[in-house]
Structure 1
Amino acid sequence: MQSLREKQERRRREREQEEKELAEKMRLAEEKRRQEEEESKIRMEAQKQKREEERRKKQAMLADSLAGIVSLNSNIPNFILQKQEKQERNGKASMKNGKSKEEKEEAKRAYMALISQKPVVSQLLTNDLKIKIQQLHAHICKLEAVKYDLEKRHERQLYDVSEFPTVEKPPPIVHGTARPPPEWGRTENEELEQLRKIIEPHKYVEQVKVENARPPIEPIPLSVPGLQG
Structure 2
Amino acid sequence: MASRAGNAGKTTATTLLQASIDLSGTKARIVEFDDQRRHGRRLPADLVTPVSLPLARELQTNPEADVRAMSDAFDRTLESFAQGETVIWDTGANLDERLAEFLGGVGIIDEVPADRPAVVLVMARCDLEMIRLAGETAAAFGRAVPEATVAIGLNDAHSAWSTLDADSPLARAAAETLGPIIKRGGSMLVPAIPVNLAIALRDSEIPWHILAGMEPRDAAKHWGVPHAVAKVRQAELSVTLEAARREVVRQLGFPKNET
Larger radius of gyration between Structure 1 and Structure 2: 1
Normalising by structure 1, report the TM-score: 0.18
Normalising by structure 2, report the TM-score: 0.16
Greater fraction strand: 2
Greater fraction helix: 1
